[in-house]
Amino acid sequence: MSSADLDAALADLDSVFRGFTSPTETGCGYCHAPEETAYLRTPDVPMPLDTVGYYLFEVSDHFDDHAAVMRRLLPQGARAMADGTLGVIGYGAHGLSQVDWRLWPAEQADAIEAFLHAWWQDALARPEPSYGIDHIFDTCATIARTVTPFLQGWGPGPVADAHLAHCADVWLHDLLSDASPFSWWYGDTVDVGVKDLRAWLCGPGAARLHAAGEYDLATRAELLGLPRDQRGDHPY
């Protein structure tokens, strides 16, 4: 069962994006079946979930109006992300990361942002969320183009600390080599996102890992505060 905040965020998406279509959408004649593209021109008719998942992660230039397609997909797509029926996430760039949704009307942008935060908080509270916690973080951060609110909203507790340990272990493989742990985050915001993640993980994140008894991960995280050449000389 989802949290009350997540239920409210999904209901708001339903309300805000009800009736949206991409009215003249023809799609990609090579990749999209005509009956699938017809859904994008038709408001409020439920799509097959495999079509929703396919379109959410399709490259933007395969559509006539990618932003309109994302609006059409949002209510059902967000609900499938939240309840785990989408299939998988993290295998490609999410469509919302490829559109300037923050420039959309305020009620639309606010509804998307509220959903991302509510979905993240719901996942943090679950010992076994519908998708890997690192994939959920990756998806939220790449859509939002920032890590800051999701790190700041990472509350305490045994479940949240276990999720932190898992994510830190995943991220450190890349971060200790000065690489990005975000496979599908492109553009001029990713460098800031990686910098902010490094700063948080070697400071507040490492302190939390220590407090949770994750001493190995905490020590590795603290190494992120050193220049790369000094990491190699560290006694650890």
Tens digits of residue pLDDT in 69-111: 999 999 999 999 999 999 889 888 999 999 999 999 999 999 9
Taking the CA atoms of residue 135, residue 136, residue 142 and residue 147 in that order, the dihedral angle to the nearest 10 degrees is -110
pLDDT digits (tens, 9 = 90+) for 31-64: 889 999 999 999 999 999 999 999 999 999 999 9
Q: What is the mean pLDDT of the chain?
A: 94
Is 52:89 a contact under the CB 8 Å cutoff? no
Residue 67 in tokens: 């932003």
pLDDT digits (tens, 9 = 90+) for 205-226: 999 999 999 999 999 999 998 7
3 state SS of 85: coil
Q: What angle do CA 189, 52, 7 make, to 5 degrees?
A: 80
pLDDT category of residue 234 using cuts at 50, 70 and 90: low
Q: What is the pTM of this model?
A: 0.94
Is 89:120 a contact under the CB 8 Å cutoff? no
